[in-house]
């Protein structure tokens, strides 16, 4: 199974959601007060590649590699960076 998740950028945090959205408008409606942007649904490998390119050192990633793997293998539907995130 090729599970995908959407990165959702809010004003001060980053969410990763396995929820299936029809389009970005639906995401904006759900998080309208804090929504800034979102990316298309991606695999775990895609997200790791983006983090490697954008953040370089894993210590700077919004989610560690281990956390990403756990999320994609587990039952959780949404996780939060739980820290102030500035993009």
List of residues 6+ apart from 39 with CB closer than 8 A: 6, 7, 50
List of residues 6+ apart from 80 with CB closer than 8 A: 13, 14, 15
Q: pTM for the full model?
A: 0.86
> Parallel, antiparallel, or unpaired: how do β-strands 35-38 and 6-10 relate?
antiparallel
- Please report the pLDDT score of residue 86 as a whole number: 45
Q: How many CB atoms lie within 10 A of CB 63?
A: 21
Question: Which residues are paired to 33 by β-bridges?
Answer: none
The string of pLDDT tens digits covering residues 20-34 is 999 999 999 988 789
Residue 1: pLDDT over 80: no
The string of pLDDT tens digits covering residues 34-65 is 999 999 999 999 999 999 999 999 999 999 99
């Amino acid at each position: 199974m090729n599970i995908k998740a959407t990165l959702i950028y809010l004003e001060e945090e980053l969410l990763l959601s396995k929820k299936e959205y029809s389009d970005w408008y639906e995401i904006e409606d759900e998080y309208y007060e804090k929504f800034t942007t979102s990316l298309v649904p991606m695999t775990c490998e895609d997200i790791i590649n983006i983090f490697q390119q954008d953040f370089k050192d894993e210590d700077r990633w919004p989610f560690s590699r281990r956390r990403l793997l756990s999320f994609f293998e587990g039952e959780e539907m949404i996780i939060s960076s739980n820290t102030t995130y500035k993009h």
